[in-house]
Chain A
Amino acid sequence: MWAIASGIEGNLAAYEAVVADLKKSRQEVENFYLLGDIIGPTAESNRLVKRIQQPRNGEPIPLVCQGWWEEQILILHTLGRTGEPTELIDRYGIDMTKTLWDAIDSTTLKWVQSLEFGFAELDCFLIHGSSVDVSDELTPTTDPIQMLDKLSRMEANQLFCGRSGLAFEYKIESGSLTSQVQTLDTLSAPTPTVLSPRRIVGVGSVGRIEGKASYTLYYPGSNKLEFKTVRYGAKKGFG
C-alpha cells in the first residue's frame, strides 16, 4: 500500500502521530509520499525536515515534493518560479516574509531546492496543487470540466493532491461528448468521445488542524482508498 500525506506545515508532533499510525499497520508501506507543505513559517520546520530525512528503523522513507510553503521560501530567496512573493503577502501580510525568512535555515532551504515537482507512478500523478500551479486548490466543489483538465494535463487516471487540506475522492464516473471538425477542405463526421472512469483524491492535511492529522492510504492492487485520521496530543501547529 501507499501512504500519502500533505500539509505538515512544520508540525512535528502531527508528523510523528502519522508515522506512529503507519507503524501500527499490518501491511507494508511500499511508498510514502509527502505532497508538499512540509515546512511552515516556524523554526520547528527545520527539526521536522531533519526528522523526515532520517527515518528510524522500520519506518518508510518518504518521497517528498514541493508544496506552497516551499515555493514561498524559494521565492523569498529568488529561487522560485515567480519573482515576487505576492501571494504570500496577500494571504498573510508583509510581516510573514520576514517570519518565514527567519524561520527556515540554510540547510532546510537547500533540501527544499532538491525536492521534486511531483511524482508519476502507475496511472497516478501525485502533486501538491496541480500540474498548472502549486497554488492550485482542487476541492470537492471544483467544476468537473476543470478537474478533468487537470487530470488530462498529466495524462493520469488518478491525481493525488494536497493543496486544499481536505480528504476527498472526486470520481468522474463517466463522460461523453460529440465533436465535429470543419476545415477548408474537409468536414469530419460527428465523433463521440467516451470517457473512462478516473479520479482526483484530496489526501487531507497532517498538520493544519491542531490535534487532528489526516492522510490517505492507497492500495494499488485493489485501487481502494482509505482516509485516515489520527488524533494526537495538544502541541500546537501552525495554522
Chain B
Amino acid sequence: MDVLQVILSGLLLGGVYALFAAGLNMIFGVMRVINLAHGELMMLGAYITFFLFSQAGVNPLLSIPLSAVALLVLGVLLQFTLVERVVNQPLLSSLLLTFGLSTLMMGIALNLWTSNFRSVAWSPLTGSWDVAGLAVSKSRLVAFAIALLVTGATWLFLKKSIFGKAIRATSQHAEVAQICGIDVRRVRLATFGLGSAMAAISGSLIAMIFTISPEMGRMFIGKAFAIIVLGGLGSFAGTFVGALLLGTSETLAAYYTDTQLAEAVAYAVLLLVLLIRPSGLFGRAE
C-alpha cells in the first residue's frame, strides 16, 4: 500500500511537470531555442500567486489566470525585443541569451524578495482526502487536475484550431510553413507567450504544493529537460508521458534511497536516454 501511495503522489506531481515541460518543448519545437530562462518564468508565476495571496488575500485558484496573463504579456515582450534576434542564429547565442535572462530575472527576484523560502498556506487545500485507503494530498490533486485541464486545452488548441495548426506547421518545418503563407514571426511571438503562460500556471500550482524561492527555477529546468528528452523533443504526448514517468521514478527513488539521490534521477534519465535512444520515446529522429 505504501508503494501505491508513493506512486500516486509521484503521478500527481508529474502532471504539473508536464505543463511546465510542454511549454519549453513547444518553444524549442517552433524556434529551436532552448529557453534556459523557462524556470525563472515559472518562478515569477509562483511569486505572483504568493503575493496576491499574502498581500491581498486573493484565492490562489483565482490568481492562476492572472499570473498566466501577466506572463503571457512578459513572454511576448521578451520574444519581441530579445529572443527574436537569436532565432536562426548559432545555438550558442540563444543558450547564452536565455541564460543571461535567467540570471537577470533571478537576480532581480533575489533583490526584491530575498532568498527566503515562502509558501502559500491556503486552508481549504491543506491536508488530504482519503480515497480507497490512500491518502491523497488535496493540493496535489487539485494542482494535477488544473495542470491536466490546461495541458489538455493546449493540446486541443494545437490539434484543432487554425492558429494551433500554424504553430505545429512551423515546428515541423519553418521555411515551408512560411512559403505556405504562415506568418512565422507571429507564430513565434504567440508560442513564446503561450509557453511563458504555461510556465506561470505551473509556477502558481507549485506554489500551492511546495515552498518557493527565487532559485526554484534552476531545479525545475533540469527536470524539464529530462522529461522532454525522455518523451522526445517536439512531441506533446511524449512530454506528458515523460513527465508522469519522471514524477513517479523520482518519488520512488526518494522512497527507496534518499531525497539526495532522487535529485540524480532526472539527470541520469536524461543522459541514459540521450545515449541509448536520442529521439526519446515518442520523438522522430533528426
A and B are interacting partners: no
Contact surface of A with B, Cβ cutoff 8 Å: none
Q: Which residues of B contact A (CB under 8 A)?
A: none
